[in-house]
Chain A
Amino acid sequence: MDWQGQKLAEQLMQILLLIAVVVAFVVGYTTASFRTMMLIYAGGVVLTSLITVPNWPLFNRHPLKWLDPSEAEKHPKPQAVVVSSKKKFSKKLVSVLKIIVSLISLNQMTTFCY
């Protein structure tokens, strides 16, 4: 449904249910029958659900205007910049090697102390 249709559906639902309640109570009270009141109300709820819940065309009379595809092509999405990563990689490799050497020397020192 479009926005106008949603608003219409909500209003219709509330008004129809309230009418069903009033009619059910009046008829039930005057005929002194609780069962009649409940049956009329249940019928009202079913009728309201049939009218307002499915996606009828009448709720789609003001559809949203999406942009045409040709308009979208005029404004392309920005591309991500590709940075050369070779230098960075070599730098990273050197730093990792340094960490490994320091760990090994630490290990040697501790075993030597022990």
Chain B
Amino acid sequence: MHSFGYRANALLTFAVTILAFICAIASFSDNFSNQTPSAQIQILNINWFQKQPHGNDEVSLTLNITADLQSLFTWNTKQVFAFVAAEYETSKNALNQVSLWDAIIPEKEHAKFWIQISNKYRFIDQGHNLRGKDFNLTLHWHVMPKTGKMFADKIVMSGYRLPDAYR
């Protein structure tokens, strides 16, 4: 502590160290928030269901997505990344997950939404297994914090089925 430079260095080092601690505690405090998200997805229409020239099936759907993700936002949340995936089983793969739609929600006010949209990303199978296939539509979300650990969770909605023949 004998010179200006020495004291300034000591102060800055200590300040940055306890800044790291305070960010870790802020991230830890996220564990105590009560999260109750809800969502519903409805398939309004199957636009077309075809077999591509190389042998893969492709479906185009119109989805109606309703969700309330407001309770996921804490003081330490920067944004929530949400996406809808179709999940099904085939003889080749135990689990196929195809992402149909995603969105970045930057603020709590935008987290309660209703959207009617055709799938943003193409629903293409590896093969031609989709005829008469039962599948789940799962809404996944990633809560991205300002500092610290990212949390991810999902809601699984089952009971959807593709038609038995191509359209």
Residue positions of A touching B, CB distance < 8 A = 1, 6-7, 9-10, 13-14, 17-18, 21, 24-25, 28-29, 32-34, 37, 41, 45, 48-49, 52-55
Where the two chains meet, the residues of B that have a C-beta atom closer than 8 Å to any C-beta of A are 1-2, 4, 7-8, 10-11, 14-15, 18-19, 21-22, 25-26, 29, 74-76, 146
Known: A6-B1, A29-B29, A34-B75. A21 touches B18 (CB 8 A): yes
With both beta carbons as reference points, the residue of chain B lying nearest to A16 in the complex is identified as B11
9 contacts between A and B (CB under 8 A): A18-B18, A24-B22, A32-B74, A34-B26, A34-B76, A37-B26, A49-B11, A54-B4, A55-B4
Is there an interface contact between A37 and B22, defined as CB atoms closer than 8 Å?
A: yes
Whether B26 and A13, one on each chain, are in contact in the complex, defined by CB atoms closer than 8 angstroms, is: no
Establish whether residues A21 and B146, one from each chain, have CB atoms under 8 Å apart when the complex forms: no
**CA–CA, A17 to B15, complex, Å?**
7
By a CB distance below 8 angstroms, the chain A residues around B74 are 32
Q: When A14-B14, A17-B15, A24-B22 are in contact, do A49 and B2 touch as well, CB less than 8 Å?
A: no
CB distance from B143 to the nearest CB of A (A): 14
Residue of B nearest to A28 (CB): B75
Q: A52's contact among B11, B25, B75, B76, by CB below 8 Å, is which?
A: B11
Is chain A's binding surface mostly helix, strand, loop or mixed?
A: helix
In the complex, chain A residues whose CB is within 8 Å of the CB of B146: 34
**Contact A13 B21, CB 8 Å, known A28-B75, A34-B26, A55-B4:** no
Task: Point out the residue from A1, A24, A28 that lies within 8 Å of B1, measured CB to CB.
Answer: A1
Contact: B4 with A29, CB < 8 Å?
no
Min CB–CB distance B154 → chain A (angstroms): 26
CB pair A1–B10 under 8 Å, yes or no, is no
Select one of B4, B10, B11, B25 contacting A25, CB under 8 A: B25
